[in-house]
Structure 1
Amino acid sequence: MSGGEACDGKKLVRSSSGLRMVPEHHAARSPFGLDEPPWVPDKDCPRCMQCETKFDFITRKHHCRRCGKCFCDKCCSKKVPLSRMCFVDPVRQCAECALISQKETEFYDKQLKVLMNGATFCVARGTSEKSEMMVCRLSNNQRYLFLDGDSHYEIEIAQISTVQILTEGFTPGGGNTRATGMLLQYKVPGSEELTQIKFTASEDFNSNKKLSAAWLAAMHKHNGTPILIGTAGGYHDIYAAPNS
């Protein structure tokens, strides 16, 4: 088993917001994950934080499981999956958070699976023009990119600095483009210098080419869903823009 997937066990825990299936070890936590927010204390929110309706015996307050703010039932009635907090069942969220979570659910249900299934690329490291055919996939715990060929590399997501999707077929109107590759820069543990690696979709096998295109599309933003890139201070959202 690879070091990047040595601690994949999970456990079921109950919080005030619901049941969550979380990693047994913090080191195995996905970089896509979010911590549960602290709830705004009841004494600090006498009114709905959206419509300002006053709470009373009839108008009850509810906390959004994503932002922790309190709302009336009308403003916080949707129960939506919240995969980034590992909830087993859909949970109550305010309208604004529900929209974000719905977009992320599509990323988890579709794009994330594509990334974990992997695809084949011609991979060149640094400034070398020599490339190697490798299968690239996201690890099961989503903390590493695995590259497997004659060589094997593990790139920790937390060490990735920039991701640039390469496209071709650009038109003045901005349409009809397709992803053909990716430039990725990351830090090797123990070094402050950035290492660059280039992924190019293979031109040799049509089936592999389709898988590679789907994998690149999953790395690209989808309906405003961000790709998460790590920094020394934590994780932040970036949008992988083509040729940016």
Structure 2
Amino acid sequence: MSSEVAARRDAKKLVRSPSGLRMVPEHRAFGSPFGLEEPQWVPDKECPRCMQCGAKFDFLTRKHHCRRCGKCFCDKCCSQKVALRRMCFVDPVRQCAECALVSHREAEFFDKQLKVLLSGATFLVTFGHSEKPETMVCRLSNNQRFLLLDGSSRHEVEIARISAVQMLSEGFPPGGGNARATGMSLQYPAPGAEGVTQLKLTAGEDANGSRRQATAWLAAMHKAAKLLYESRDQ
């Protein structure tokens, strides 16, 4: 990919919407696959009362729209201003209590797990029905749109085209608890190929810390997959 094409993909612009300022991709097709579209606001005439507590709107009780769900609330039920990165808002925006809780939880992904995905980790990678794995570094591209795999060969998988994600695990720790994640299987339609291609990532066994890094990367990718499915179901 030329630097000119890459720059065009990553170009952003500042736009003003009824909900606030947003820093969005110059070209919509190059947006993050984890993003959400702004909701349509419930028309004022259709919500004479708060959609949470039922308080009647009047001169003293003003109505506010949640920037995440678009519903009408009184100030008491929609007073929190929380960062909403999935809609690319520059500043924290007003949200109802339920949406604010979700946005707070998502902040962990953008503050911690996204950084893990961007840093990458080393895996044994198997493509399709091949029986010979290749040691590769897998990381998320800076624009969050591709998985980049670098080894003796190079590959990229468009995040938005991933159709299935399955965590691979083995055994249970002594005393109970969750099974240990050892890898991940991804399915996606490869460009120019018929049917679905399978990609298997397996964390290697070593003592230099890369196994721990790979496990953290798998956990972050699992969270990313959940956000991806939510974006599709919007």
Assess same fold via TM > 0.5: yes
The 5 A counterparts of 1:32-43 are 32-43=34-45
Distance 1:69 1:236 in 2: 19
Please give the secondary structure, in 2, of the residue aligned with 1:219.
helix
Distance 1:120 1:5 in 2: 25
User: After superposition, what is the alpha-carbon deviation per residue over 1:136-166, rounded to whole angstroms, capped at 9, x for unaligned?
Assistant: 0111111111111111111111211111111
Give the conservation status (yes or no) of the 8 Å contact 1:220–1:227: no
Runs of 4+ aligned residues of structure 1 deviating over 4 Å after TM superposition are: 1-6, 171-174
Task: Note the residue ranges of structure 1 that are not aligned, 5 or more in a row.
Answer: 238-244
Q: 1:227 to 1:69 in 2, by over 3 A?
A: closer
Paired position in structure 1 for 2:228: 228
Q: 1:174 to 1:79 in 2, by over 3 A?
A: farther
Of 63, 66, 69, which aligns to 1:67?
69
Q: 1:211 to 1:178 in 2, by over 3 A?
A: same
Distance 2:69 2:31 in 1: 20
User: After superposition, what is the alpha-carbon deviation per residue over 1:70-109, rounded to whole angstroms, capped at 9, x for unaligned?
Assistant: 1000110111110100011111001111111111111111
Give the conservation status (yes or no) of the 8 Å contact 1:219–1:227: no
Give the conservation status (yes or no) of the 8 Å contact 2:109–2:223: no
Q: 1:118 to 1:15 in 2, by over 3 A?
A: same
Which letter maps to 1:58?
Answer: L
Q: 1:53 to 1:213 in 2, by over 3 A?
A: same
How far has the Cα of 1:211 moved from its partner? Answer: 1.2
Paired position in structure 2 for 1:184: 186
Q: 1:98 to 1:180 in 2, by over 3 A?
A: same
The 5 A counterparts of 1:86-105 are 86-105=88-107
Distance 2:228 2:39 in 1: 19
Question: Which structure features the higher share of helix residues?
Answer: 2
> Alpha carbon RMSD of aligned pairs, Å?
2.3
Q: 1:137 to 1:48 in 2, by over 3 A?
A: same
Paired position in structure 2 for 1:11: 13
Paired position in structure 2 for 1:54: 56
Please give the secondary structure, in 1, of the residue aligned with 2:49.
coil
Which letter maps to 1:49?
Answer: M
Q: 1:2 to 1:174 in 2, by over 3 A?
A: farther
Task: Note the residue ranges of structure 2 that are not aligned, 5 or more in a row.
Answer: none
How far has the Cα of 1:226 moved from its partner? Answer: 2.2
Give the conservation status (yes or no) of the 8 Å contact 2:137–2:151: yes
Please give the secondary structure, in 2, of the residue aligned with 1:226.
helix
Distance 2:187 2:93 in 1: 37
Q: 1:28 to 1:205 in 2, by over 3 A?
A: farther
TM-score, normalisation: structure 1? 0.87
Of 143, 146, 167, which aligns to 2:145?
143
Paired position in structure 1 for 2:199: 197
Distance 1:57 1:229 in 2: 41
Give the conservation status (yes or no) of the 8 Å contact 1:115–1:138: yes
Which letter maps to 1:154?
Answer: E
Aligned residues: 232
TM-score, normalisation: structure 2? 0.91
Identity %: 70
Distance 1:71 1:173 in 2: 48
Q: 1:127 to 1:173 in 2, by over 3 A?
A: farther
Give the conservation status (yes or no) of the 8 Å contact 1:31–1:228: yes
